Structure formats: structure tokens, C-alpha cells
Amino acid sequence: MQTYDVVIIGAGHNGLVCAAYLLKAGYSVLVLEKRAIPGGAATTEAALPESAPGFRFNLCAIDHEFIHLGPVVEELELKKYGLEYLYCDPVVFCPNPDGKAFLAHRSVEKTCAEIAKYSPRDAKKYAEYMDFWQRMIQAIKPVFNAPPKSIVDILGNYGAHNFRDLLSLLGGVDKTLDLLRTLLTSPKCSLEEQFDSEFLIAPLARLASELGAPPSEKTIAIGAMMMALRHNPGMSRPRGGTGALTQALVNLIQQKGGVIRCDQPVQQVLVSNEGRAEGVRVASGEEYRATKGVISNLDAKRLFLQMADPADVDAADPNLRHRLERRIVNNNETILKIDCALSEIPRFERFDHKDEYWIGSVLIADSFNHVEAAHSLPAMGKIPDENPSMYVDVPTVLDPSMAPPATTHSGLSFLRPTKLPELKALDSTARAGLMS
């Protein structure tokens, strides 16, 4: 039986980041991955080799923002291992049927100038709104970069500017109550409190719903961060596609002597008589021993309910299985994503078409209700397939390396919320694929 200090189940990018930090700290590490390639939901693959040869698709993640709130890229020196981030600017284009359009640049100032063409009042409000959410991001950023339960680590991450922004949100009873109210409200209430114009409210609601719920849902006004992040730290994509992030991590892990084994679905976590995870068994029956511990890149439900002996889980925590079964629920909203290979980019003839509209995300969000329907119909078992609200990216406008050289543009990805558990990897006709 092969022995390592740590065995990691799953080579998603979070599993790989974990492996990289452990290797840097001097541990020996084995990463076991179920699929034939590492990366999980962060891969770029030639998904249609016959119908669209040379086209490379980001099968899941495309736009990277949150990673720049933490130190991972710099601390792991991923540039040295081949990662290069390209930043989108503009970051959003949302054409409205009334002839207006929301064109957001990386700069808040430039974005306000675009909004002011239609509504000077909303432009002023947008600057205030973004300032508020930027301060919120700085105030909570230290929490992202510490173990969830470690108050000491969280406090240790607070620098002077984080405290300043936190105080600017909490200073005084009125501000604190106002902040609480904002956090408890919905994107709808928050946006309608600020803005008059539908051409602005609809795309902001669409982005807030990236949190996975309709924009009328209370307590997710913080989804406004999804737009604020596009201004700062910015919206980026690795050159070559999201898989280039995974590849840089793989390069680092291999250079530091770590081992990644693909096609190795873990079936069972092996637990010692003392209750310590001491290894894993994969589908082929092979076992790997871990002297320091086993780390899971999978969610807690799959780990504790499917890969561990119930008696071992109960011995560790008698309430855990009940909590996982009953309290952690899936709201069943998921995403339908369609990847296409195109011979040219779609044109916005009614909106003085510029190719730069396709550098960031194009949002099809005609009105607040258009977005609301796309997110709430699936919860009632209906598919919002008639004129759906969508999030559309054409990654090759920013990064032509993802399509064959002779092609003008490719890699259109539509994302929209839906609930389609029965649709699995439907192949469509020529040059397109459909995934749920």
C-alpha cells in the first residue's frame, strides 16, 4: 500500500490549491481524481473534437473574480507555472429592448458616464451604490481568507483599510441598523430603492441572482457584490481558458513532487479504531494510506453519507448525519449551460454594434420580471425556455487562442438558471453541445 502524509479526494481547483500549500509546507501529497482529467468545474476541454475541431470550451467556470480577493495566485506564484490573467474591459453589456443599454467598464467613473447618457440621477446613485459595496467587500474580505471558525485568523487578516471600511459601514447606531436592513433585504428592494431605470435594474438583478436565487429573495441583496467585483478587483479569465488555472496548479504540484492520479474514484474513507481517517479505498480496490490525514474536495454530504461508514461518522459526531441529511438542502436551482462553436460573433445591429461589447459578459435581462421568471419558474418545475434571461460569454473575443486560428470567433456560452435533473449531456446537432 502506498503511503503519503496527506491524501486529497478530488482534483478540483480547490483540492489542487490545498495540495499546493501542503507541498510548500513540506508534506507529501497524493490527489485522487474520479475523472480522466483534473480540474473539476475548472477545466477547458476540446468538448466537440469532431464537429468543432480546435475549439476549446470552459465546461463550467469562465469569469474569475473571487480568486483575486485572496492571496492564492501570488502566494503560489502561479504566474511562474504558466498562469496569465487577462482582464475584461468592458465587463458587462446589456442591451434593452427600449433602445437603451447598460455598458459597464472596469472603471466606475466610465460606467457612470455611460449611465448618465440616459439618467444622470441613476449615474450618481450608481457611484454611491458601488462605493457602498466596495467598502462591504473590503470589510468582509478578511473572512474569506481564514479558516471559517478561526476568529484569531480572521482578526489577524484585518488591515487598517479593512477596519476603516468596516467602521464606515457600522459606525453609529443608524449606520448599523441600515446595514442590517440592507443585508436582510432582497436585490429587488435594494435596487429599486436606488435606481429609476429598468435598463440598469434588470442587469444588476441578473448578476445578483448569480448567488442562485430569484432577485426578489430576501437576504441576498449582497449579490450586488457580483457587479462591484467586476470593477475591483476586476473580472478576469486565464489565457487559454479556465483550465489554464488548473494546469498551472498541476505544474506546481508535479514540480514539488506531488502526485495526481486520475480515473481513481474514491469509494471509502478508511478510519482507524481510534477514529482517525487513515486512508482511502478507490473503485479498483486499491488502498492508499495517509499518515497525517485525508482531505476532501467534495461536499460534506457525499463525503460523510456516501464514503464513510455510518458508525464511524456517528462515533465522531452523533448529530452529523442527521444535520447533513435534513438541514443541508439543495434548492434544486442549477444552471443550464450551452456551449457553441460559431463562425462569427453575433452583432447588435440596433445598438451601434462594437465587437468590444463581447469582451465581458452580455446579459439578456430585459426587465426585472424577465430575470425573476428565469430564476423562479425552475423552482416550480417549469423551464423558462420562452425568451429566457441569459448570461452569455464569447471567450474568444478576449482570448482568440481558444479557437482555431482561421476562425473569427467562437466559444459562445449561455448560462441560465433552470432545474433540469433529467437532462444530462444531451448532444445537439452539428457544432453544439448541451449540458445540464
Contact segment (CB under 6 A) with ligand FAD among 57-65, 98-106, 120-128, 351-359 equals 57-65
Residue showing cell 482555431: 404
Amino acid residing at 261: R
* Number of residues counted as binding ligand FAD (CB under 6 A): 26
Q: From the list 3, 24, 41, 332, which residue makes contact with ligand FAD (rule: CB under 6 A)?
A: 41
Closest contact distance (angstroms) between CB of 278 and ligand FAD is 17
What is the rounded radius of gyration, in angstroms, for the C-alpha atoms of the chain? 23
Angular region, 377: left φ>0, alpha ψ -120 to 50, beta rest: alpha
Q: From the list 6, 7, 8, 9, which residue makes contact with ligand FAD (rule: CB under 6 A)?
A: 9
Binding of residue 33 to ligand FAD (CB under 6 A): yes
The 298-327 contact track toward ligand FAD, x by CB under 6 A, reads x-----------------------------
Binding of residue 64 to ligand FAD (CB under 6 A): yes
Binding of residue 270 to ligand FAD (CB under 6 A): no
Closest contact distance (angstroms) between CB of 97 and ligand FAD is 26
Contact segment (CB under 6 A) with ligand FAD among 58-66, 96-104, 175-183, 249-257 equals 58-66
Q: From the list 8, 29, 222, 266, which residue makes contact with ligand FAD (rule: CB under 6 A)?
A: 266
Binding of residue 268 to ligand FAD (CB under 6 A): no
Looking at the Cβ atoms of 195 and 358, the one nearer to ligand FAD is 358
Give the separation between CA 345 and CA 355, rounded to whole angstroms.
Answer: 8
Looking at the Cβ atoms of 11 and 244, the one nearer to ligand FAD is 11
Closest contact distance (angstroms) between CB of 163 and ligand FAD is 27
Q: From the list 42, 222, 245, 340, which residue makes contact with ligand FAD (rule: CB under 6 A)?
A: 42
- How far separated are the first and last CA of the chain, in Å rounded? 38
3-state secondary structure of 289: strand
Give the separation between CA 17 and CA 295, rounded to whole angstroms.
Answer: 12
Closest contact distance (angstroms) between CB of 166 and ligand FAD is 25
Q: Which positions ≥6 away from 288 have C-beta within 8 Å?
A: 1, 2, 3, 4, 7, 30, 32, 279, 280, 282
Burial 204-227 (b: 16+ CB within 10 A, else e): bbbbbbbbebbbbbeebbbbbbbb
Closest contact distance (angstroms) between CB of 350 and ligand FAD is 27
Give the separation between CA 242 and CA 41, rounded to whole angstroms.
Answer: 9
Q: Which positions ≥6 away from 242 have C-beta within 8 Å?
A: 39, 42, 43, 44, 58, 60, 61, 62, 64
Looking at the Cβ atoms of 62 and 137, the one nearer to ligand FAD is 62
Contact segment (CB under 6 A) with ligand FAD among 3-11, 243-251, 270-278, 380-388 equals 3-11
Binding of residue 231 to ligand FAD (CB under 6 A): no
Looking at the Cβ atoms of 119 and 436, the one nearer to ligand FAD is 436
Looking at the Cβ atoms of 172 and 285, the one nearer to ligand FAD is 285
Looking at the Cβ atoms of 39 and 214, the one nearer to ligand FAD is 39
Alpha-carbon distances, residue 273 vs 78, 276, 277, 311 (angstroms) = 40, 7, 10, 11
Kindly provide the residue ranges of all beta strands, DSSP E only, lying in 126-199, ordered along the sequence. Answer: none
Burial 365-401 (b: 16+ CB within 10 A, else e): bbbbebbbbbbbbbeeeeebeeebbbbbbbbbbbbee
Give residues 13-32 in contact with ligand FAD (rule: CB under 6 A). Answer: 13-15, 32
Question: What residues line the site for ligand FAD (CB under 6 A)?
Answer: 9-15, 32-35, 40-42, 60-64, 66, 265-266, 297-298, 335, 337
